[in-house]
């Protein structure tokens, strides 16, 4: 009888063990996902400031193109998200328009817009995460500074992508106003940089795929892709972002990222 | 005369070395349709055509530490000779250092946060023939020193020359029954338009609050009118008082909310009065994943000035309700509809502004302005037949 009881208890314990094992796996995968995201962040820390020229090519379903040109200045902030200033050059009717944002690890970002025709600096609402940036397939949340704290993570598996060993990590936006339920990211196992992101919308349907191309290394440390390609699977529209003339550590300070700098931006 | 001056400037502009400069700008054609006959049969009838030209020349030295900007502006109007005018919108030199900026020349400056009125914004004169919304401004000569510190930005202005407000001529719409005599203005100051004006403004951001405090001493940009009889006609002569005006503007930004307030107190010989505009704008972003943002705006406008002895403010106890639509599409289509209402008399001023890019360098602007149920007491009673729709095509180069 005792043996039977023992056996019976063992049988009862099996599902408990399986569940706890799963819980263990889950927390272990969450921890590993977070660890990878942190490593990605650490390896990209310390560039201090940078400036880059951007060209955006928007394509509609029929393949018709529309172009945008802008410049982006970035300043790292100790213990918080980056500051960034985007100055628009083309199309010509928005020339001189400038967008200043202070990203924060937690809580909403601070954003100001400069309208050159009215000479007006406007503080704008930062609750727009999911809306399109300049009519493109990039949402505001796609182009803003990617802070570790903006997502929770789960490691999925290791997989090769175009012959490169990658970690696949799922991440889940913390902000409820995000347009996504989840993103699946392919991180390079050696360089800790993203190669691909698949976005799922609020209904968890496949929405967009972002791929990174032609990475180049700067200051012997920081990897920057020369091209981002975003394809929207629901609308068949796409946007390419081309980066050129990256410059790092050019002496930008907080003064280059204040409301006065918006009025000076050209 | 003004056109000659302008052509001379253009020749000058192209004759100097352009190699390290940037030339851009826009040319626009504007058509206006007035469905109602004017009050006075000398005024424009149903249709008006107008052209404008605004080139922009920019020059940079020392990696941008020094820069120079020149923006002349020309408007030619088919009917109203007062509306055909030339102005230097901007012509200034900027020096930029780590904790200060100096600007010397002709400039446009904007102060404030609210949408339906701009009480705090006193530096530039309104170019009223350009647009009756008060947002088009004449270039103001100035020396501006901006001191930028951790505790905020302090801007000091010396304004050595006064610009008179522009008003529609005899053939123009948007005029009062009596013509305004824009050639014989009167000033409280003995120095007339050469009176030296001063202004100071402090701005800073405290977390979710953006705050500005300003003070202006000098000739009021708003005139009052004195009837004068000469050569058999009675005209209104603009009179510009000396004023002291203190203003404050605050915006509190949280989530999709923008809470806005602008208040002024102005002192002139006749009276000290108080005025404010306050309200909110709330934005619903990316409605149902469409990419379209919808904003709702509500503001209350109050002004307790003595409207008889001071320059009139048409909005002294009015409510503004509006909505802003941004389609966030490739053509950057947007639409703003709004109405300023006097809730006691029912007078309504309606406004619709839309714009859309065409191709890479054209932009189409649509504007509809309506005056409905205008009470005799309202300042713009004279505009009651001047509702119009406008289509403007801009070419950017």
Q: Is residue A104 domain-resident?
A: yes
Question: How many residue contacts between A and B have a Cβ separation below 8 Å?
Answer: 107
Interface of A with B (CB under 8 A): 58, 60, 66-67, 90-95, 108, 110, 118-132, 134-135, 177, 179, 201-202, 253, 255, 258-260, 264, 266
Mutate: best of A51, A123, A240, A251, partner B, most B CBs <10 A? A123
Mutate: best of B65, B69, B330, partner A, most A CBs <10 A? B330
Query: What's the confidence (pLDDT) of residue B7?
Result: 64
**What are the DSSP calls for chain A, one per residue?**
-HHHHHHHHHHHHHHHHHHHHHHHHHHHHHHHHHHHHHHHHHHTTT--EEEEEEEEEEE-TT--EEEEEEEEEEEEETTEEEEEEEEEEESGGGTT-EEEEE--SSSPPEEEEEETTTTEEEEE----SSSBSTTSS-BHHHHS---GGGEEEEEEEEEEETTEEEEEEEEEESSTT-SEEEEEEEEETTT--EEEEEEEETTS-EEEEEEEEEEEEETTTEEEEEEEEEEETTT--EEEEEEEEEEE-----GGGGSHHHHHH--
CB A53 within 8 A of CB A242: no
Contact B396 A255 (CB under 8 A): no
- The structure tokens listed for A137 are 């397939």
Tokens 């379209």 sit on residue? B292
CB B338 within 8 A of CB B309: no
Q: Is residue A26 domain-resident?
A: no
CB A252 within 8 A of CB A75: yes
CATH number, domain of A254, equals 2.50.20.10
Q: Is residue A5 domain-resident?
A: no
Mutate: best of A135, A136, A173, A201, partner B, most B CBs <10 A? A135
Q: Is residue A24 domain-resident?
A: no
User: Which of A166-180, A223-237, B57-71, B121-135 has the lowest average pLDDT?
Assistant: B57-71
* Domains held by chain A: number: 1
Assess whether the previous peptide bond of A27 is cis (omega < 30° from 0): no
Write out chain A residues lying below 8 Å of B210, CB-based.
Answer: 123
Q: Is residue A109 domain-resident?
A: yes
Cα separations in angstroms, A227 against A43, A231, B90, B104, B228: 20, 13, 38, 42, 69
Contact B67 A266 (CB under 8 A): yes
Burial of B159 (0-12, 13-18, 19+ CB in 10 A): buried
Contact A127 B285 (CB under 8 A): yes
Query: What's the confidence (pLDDT) of residue A18?
Result: 67
By C-alpha distance, the chain A residue nearest B113 is A122
Please give the radius of gyration of chain B, using alpha carbons only, rounded to the nearest integer: 22
The partner residue sitting opposite B330, judged by closest CB among A93, A135, A201, is A135
Q: Is residue A20 domain-resident?
A: no
**Residue B75: which of B99, B49, B94 has the closest Cα?**
B49
Interface check for B206 against chain A (CB to CB < 8 A): the answer is no
Q: Is residue A2 domain-resident?
A: no
Interface check for B361 against chain A (CB to CB < 8 A): the answer is yes
The partner residue sitting opposite A123, judged by closest CB among B110, B135, B210, is B210
- CA neighbours closer than 13 Å in the CB half-sphere of residue A210: 21
Contact B293 A128 (CB under 8 A): yes
Interface check for B232 against chain A (CB to CB < 8 A): the answer is no
Interface check for B173 against chain A (CB to CB < 8 A): the answer is no
Write out chain A residues lying below 8 Å of B287, CB-based.
Answer: none
Average pLDDT in the A118-123 region? 94
Residue range of the domain that includes A206: 42-264
Contact A130 B289 (CB under 8 A): yes
The partner residue sitting opposite B291, judged by closest CB among A93, A131, A259, is A131
Q: Please determine, for residue A198, whether its predicted confidence score (pLDDT) is greater than 90.
A: yes
Q: Please name the residues in contact with A223: beta carbons below 8 A apart, sequence gap of 6 or more.
A: A44, A191, A193, A215, A216, A217
Contact B291 A93 (CB under 8 A): no
The partner residue sitting opposite A128, judged by closest CB among B205, B286, B331, is B286
Write out chain B residues lying below 8 Å of A67, CB-based.
Answer: 360
Read off the pLDDT of residues A136-161 as tens digits, 9 standing for 90 and up: 999 999 998 889 999 999 999 999 99
Contact A255 B148 (CB under 8 A): yes
Walk me through the domains of chain B, giving residue ranges and CATH numbers: 2-396 (2.40.160.10)
Interface check for B288 against chain A (CB to CB < 8 A): the answer is no
Mean pLDDT of chain A: 92
Q: Is residue A32 domain-resident?
A: no
Read off the pLDDT of residues A61-80 as tens digits, 9 standing for 90 and up: 999 999 999 999 999 999 89
DSSP state at residue B15: H
Contact B253 A264 (CB under 8 A): no
Q: Please determine, for residue A170, whether its predicted confidence score (pLDDT) is greater than 50.
A: yes
Q: Consecutive sets of 10 residues in chain B, 397 residues long: mean pLDDT of each?
A: 60 51 94 95 94 95 86 97 97 93 97 96 97 95 96 97 95 90 93 96 96 98 92 92 98 96 95 96 92 96 88 89 96 96 91 96 97 85 94 97
Query: What's the confidence (pLDDT) of residue A25?
Result: 79
| Torsion angle (degrees, nearest 10) of CA B355, B357, B358, B362 | 100
The partner residue sitting opposite A130, judged by closest CB among B96, B283, B286, is B286
């Amino acid at each position: 009888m005792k043996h039977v009881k023992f056996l019976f208890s063992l049988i009862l314990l099996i599902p408990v063990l399986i569940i706890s094992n799963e819980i263990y796996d889950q927390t272990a995968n969450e921890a590993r996902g977070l660890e990878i995201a942190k490593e990605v962040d650490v390896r990209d820390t310390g560039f201090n400031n940078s400036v880059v020229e951007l060209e955006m090519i928007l394509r509609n379903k029929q393949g018709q193109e529309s172009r945008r040109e802008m410049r982006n200045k970035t300043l790292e902030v100790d213990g918080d998200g980056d500051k960034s200033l985007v100055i628009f050059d083309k199309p010509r009717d928005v020339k001189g328009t400038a967008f200043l944002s202070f990203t924060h690890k937690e809580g909403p970002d601070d954003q100001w817009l400069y309208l050159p025709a009215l000479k007006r600096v406007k503080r704008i609402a930062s609750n727009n995460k999911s809306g399109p940036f300049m009519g493109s397939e990039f949402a505001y949340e796609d182009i803003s500074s990617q802070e570790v704290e903006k997502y929770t993570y789960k490691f999925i598996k290791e997989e090769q992508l175009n012959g490169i060993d990658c970690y696949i990590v799922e991440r889940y936006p913390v902000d409820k106003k995000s347009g996504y339920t989840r993103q699946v990211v392919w991180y390079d196992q050696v360089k800790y940089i993203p190669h691909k992101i698949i976005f799922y919308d609020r209904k968890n349907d496949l929405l967009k795929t972002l791929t990174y191309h032609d990475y180049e290394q700067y200051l012997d440390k920081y990897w920057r892709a020369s091209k981002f390609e975003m394809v929207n699977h629901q609308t068949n529209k796409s946007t390419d972002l081309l980066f050129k003339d990256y410059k790092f550590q050019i002496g930008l300070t907080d003064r280059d990222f204040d409301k006065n700098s918006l009025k000076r931006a050209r | 005369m003004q056109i000659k001056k302008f052509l001379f400037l253009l020749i000058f502009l192209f004759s100097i070395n352009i190699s390290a400069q940037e030339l851009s700008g826009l040319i626009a054609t504007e058509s206006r349709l007035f469905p109602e006959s004017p009050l006075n049969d000398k005024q424009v009838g149903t249709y008006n055509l107008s052209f404008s030209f605004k080139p922009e020349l920019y020059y940079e030295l020392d990696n941008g530490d020094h820069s120079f900007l020149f923006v002349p502006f020309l408007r030619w109007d088919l009917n109203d000779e007062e509306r055909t005018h030339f102005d230097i919108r901007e012509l200034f030199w900027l020096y930029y250092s780590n904790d200060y900026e100096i600007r010397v020349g002709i400039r446009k400056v904007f102060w404030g946060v609210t949408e339906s009125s701009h009480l705090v914004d006193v530096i530039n004169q309104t170019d009223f023939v350009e647009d009756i919304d008060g947002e088009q401004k004449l270039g103001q000569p100035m020396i501006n020193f901006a001191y930028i510190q951790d505790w905020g930005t302090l801007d000091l202005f010396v304004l050595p020359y006064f610009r008179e407000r522009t008003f529609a001529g005899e053939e123009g719409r948007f005029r009062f029954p009596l013509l305004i005599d824009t050639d014989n203005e009167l000033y409280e100051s003995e120095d007339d338009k050469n009176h030296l004006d001063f202004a100071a403004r402090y701005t800073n951001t405290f977390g979710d609050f953006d705050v500005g405090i300003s003070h202006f001493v000098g000739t009021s940009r708003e005139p009052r009118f004195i009837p004068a009889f000469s050569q058999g006609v009675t005209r209104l002569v603009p009179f510009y008082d000396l004023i002291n005006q203190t203003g404050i503007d605050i915006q509190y930004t949280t989530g999709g909310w923008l809470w806005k307030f602008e208040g002024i107190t102005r002192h002139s010989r006749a009276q000290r009065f108080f005025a404010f505009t306050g309200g909110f704008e709330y934005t619903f972003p990316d409605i149902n994943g469409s990419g379209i943002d919808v904003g709702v705006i509500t503001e209350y406008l109050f002004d307790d000035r003595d409207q008889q002895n001071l320059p009139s403010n048409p909005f002294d106890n009015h409510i503004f309700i509006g909505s802003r639509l941004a389609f966030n599409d490739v053509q950057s289509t947007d639409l703003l509809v709004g109405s300023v209402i006097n809730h006691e008399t029912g007078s309504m001023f309606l406004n619709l502004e839309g714009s859309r890019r065409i191709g890479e360098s054209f932009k189409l602007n649509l504007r509809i302005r309506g005056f409905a149920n205008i009470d005799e007491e309202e300042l713009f009673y004279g505009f009651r037949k001047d509702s119009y729709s406008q289509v403007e095509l801009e070419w950017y180069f």
